[in-house]
């Protein structure tokens, strides 16, 4: 039996990498990790956590306005970007320390630096070569930058968390959840925010009622949406302004361009060319249900595999990996019924099939849909509407899709996700007594379908 330095070497200490390393070590494995960027990965540093903090910050302007309808005097508060950044950075630093402590407490050896695969059992890092029985690639993803003239003048979501100052005008490129979230964030912080997307409507893959509701509500809040537009270049002018060129010959002047057109697996310069690890065209590492690559002792999980790119999914994958490889209890990741949220304004919460997907899959479905003005806004003066939707397979009465746009949608869908995983039916929803007055009670009071197909 070969004598390796480690039983497991984990490349990347994002959510999945840290969880896999920590649990594998607690199960008795000798584990090492390496990272050359962020302790805690994308989510902690340039993803979920700082983004949600910015969403909170951007929403306060509306809260001040809404308060007047409840008897509070009108105020004109000022916003301090530098203070928000300082406080955000302090919180991220605290979380970095927590992640580092989790590895230390579990007895994991950590290396600061870029790890590269030498061969199936060796890793090079910081001028040394280490041997390991198994390698786990958990390097995550990285923002895509489009390739056209002047792209060097644009930023990605990574840089958006570290701006020296807020622009007066911004153009966000993209139609995914990151683009939509940042358009709302900058708008709420007082920036003249525009979003450009080449398609007819953004948020491809989400239920159409979700997409159209978010479109209407974002425009109400002041975000200018440009659909069916294609950027072909950027020119930086003498005064520092950016001139964005579109394929139809038009242009737009802006202070900043945020390129949020997607993310790709972070697989460059990690030594994959030295081993037999098969990847898809976009670089995503192909794995089996045990996260094993085509190189039998090399594994991969999280965003680098291009599956469901969500932090809780990476955590669950890591638990299954560690249990299978080092606890002796094989586990297979269940990707069915994963709930998710988008922190645009108002929020999206969703689980299960879209109406279109359900209609294709089942012989007959019923759709329950409600658009309404939340109770809060009867006094706030806001015209914001919430949307709730249930999709039911008619023959079994089983709920196969739940979608919401509205305040705290993620919080509400998280609770519904448990019932969804348990196979909840529409009859069970109908027999549940609602909590009044709440927005969430609408889910258990919808009685008449708006469509049967």
Q: Are residues 115 and 127 in the same domain?
A: yes
Tell me whether residue 54 is in a domain: yes
Q: Are residues 32 and 90 in the same domain?
A: yes
Tell me whether residue 333 is in a domain: no
What is the per-residue pLDDT for 453? 72
Pairing status of strand 224-227 against strand 192-197? parallel
What is the per-residue pLDDT for 1? 53
What is the per-residue pLDDT for 452? 76
What is the per-residue pLDDT for 75? 84
Tell me whether residue 334 is in a domain: no
Tell me whether residue 217 is in a domain: yes
Q: What is the pLDDT of residues 185-222, one digit of tens each?
A: 999 999 999 999 999 999 999 999 999 999 999 999 99
Closest C-alpha among 367, 364, 363, 365 to residue 450: 367
What is the per-residue pLDDT for 92? 97
Among residues 162, 377, 403, 436, the one annotated as catalytic is 436
Task: Indicate the number of domains in the chain.
Answer: 3
* Long-range contacts formed by 292-299: CB under 8 A, 24+ apart: 293/137, 295/120, 297/120, 297/121, 297/133, 297/134, 297/135, 298/117, 298/120, 298/134, 298/135, 298/136, 298/137, 299/134, 299/135, 299/136, 299/137, 299/325
- Boundary of a domain, candidates 213, 231, 261: 261
Q: What are the structure tokens assigned to 158, written together?
A: 């990574």
Q: Are residues 398 and 295 in the same domain?
A: no
Residues facing 174 on adjacent strands: none
Closest C-alpha among 44, 47, 53 to residue 15: 44
- Boundary of a domain, candidates 281, 302, 327: 327
- Boundary of a domain, candidates 261, 283, 311: 261
CATH of the domain at 164: 3.50.50.60
Tell me whether residue 1 is in a domain: no
Tell me whether residue 113 is in a domain: yes
Q: What are the structure tokens assigned to 119, written together?
A: 């061969």
Q: Are residues 361 and 429 in the same domain?
A: yes
**Does residue 44 sit in helix, strand or coil?**
helix
Q: Dihedral sign, CA of 424, 427, 433, 435?
A: positive
The answer to whether 17 and 138 have CB atoms below 8 angstroms apart is: yes
Low-confidence ranges of the chain (pLDDT < 70): 1
Has 194 been annotated as catalytic? Answer: no
Backbone angles phi, psi at 27, to 5 degrees: -85, 5
What is the per-residue pLDDT for 76? 85
Full residue range of the structural domain in which residue 252 is found: 151-261
What is the per-residue pLDDT for 189? 97
């Amino acid at each position: 039996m070969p004598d390796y330095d480690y039983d497991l070497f984990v490349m990347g200490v994002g959510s999945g990498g840290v969880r896999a390393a920590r649990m594998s070590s607690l199960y008795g494995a000798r584990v090492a990790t390496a990272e050359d960027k962020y302790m805690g990965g994308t989510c902690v540093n340039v993803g979920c956590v700082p983004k949600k903090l910015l969403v909170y910050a951007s929403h306060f302007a509306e809260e001040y306005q809404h308060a007047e309808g409840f008897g509070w005097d009108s105020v004109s508060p000022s916003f301090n970007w530098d203070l928000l950044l300082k406080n955000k950075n302090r919180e991220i630093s605290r979380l970095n320390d927590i992640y580092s402590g989790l590895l230390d407490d579990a007895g994991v050896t950590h290396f600061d630096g870029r790890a590269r695969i030498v061969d199936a059992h060796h890793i090079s890092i910081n001028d040394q070569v280490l041997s390991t029985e198994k390698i786990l690639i958990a390097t995550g993803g990285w923002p895509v930058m489009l390739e056209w003239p002047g792209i060097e003048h644009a930023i990605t979501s990574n840089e958006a968390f570290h701006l020296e100052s807020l622009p007066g005008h911004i153009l966000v490129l993209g139609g995914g959840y990151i683009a939509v979230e940042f358009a709302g964030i900058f708008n709420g912080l007082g920036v003249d925010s525009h979003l450009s997307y080449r398609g007819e409507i953004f948020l491809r893959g989400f239920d159409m009622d979700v997409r159209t509701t978010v479109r209407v509500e974002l425009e109400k809040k002041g975000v200018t949406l440009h659909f069916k537009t294609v950027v072909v270049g950027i020119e930086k002018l003498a005064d520092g302004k950016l001139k964005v060129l579109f394929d139809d010959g038009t242009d737009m002047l802006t202070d900043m361009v945020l390129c949020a057109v997607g993310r790709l697996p972070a697989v460059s310069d990690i030594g994959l060319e030295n081993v037999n690890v098969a990847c898809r065209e976009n670089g995503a590492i192909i794995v089996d249900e045990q996260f094993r690559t085509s190189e039998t002792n090399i594994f991969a999980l999280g965003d680098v595999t291009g599956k469901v790119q969500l932090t809780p999914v990476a955590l669950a994958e890591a638990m299954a990996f560690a249990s299978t490889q080092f606890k002796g209890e094989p586990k297979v990741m269940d990707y069915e019924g994963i709930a998710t949220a988008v922190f645009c304004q108002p929020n999206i919460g969703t689980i299960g099939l879209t109406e279109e997907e359900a209609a294709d899959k089942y012989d007959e479905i019923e759709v329950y849909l409600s658009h309404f003005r939340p109770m809060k806004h009867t006094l706030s003066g806001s015209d914001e509407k919430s949307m709730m939707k249930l999709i039911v397979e008619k023959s079994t009465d089983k709920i196969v899709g739940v979608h919401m746009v509205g305040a705290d949608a993620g919080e509400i869908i998280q609770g519904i996700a448990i019932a969804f995983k348990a196979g909840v039916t529409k009859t069970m929803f109908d027999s549940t007594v609602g909590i009044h007055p709440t927005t969430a009670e609408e889910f258990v009071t919808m009685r008449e379908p708006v469509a049967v197909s």
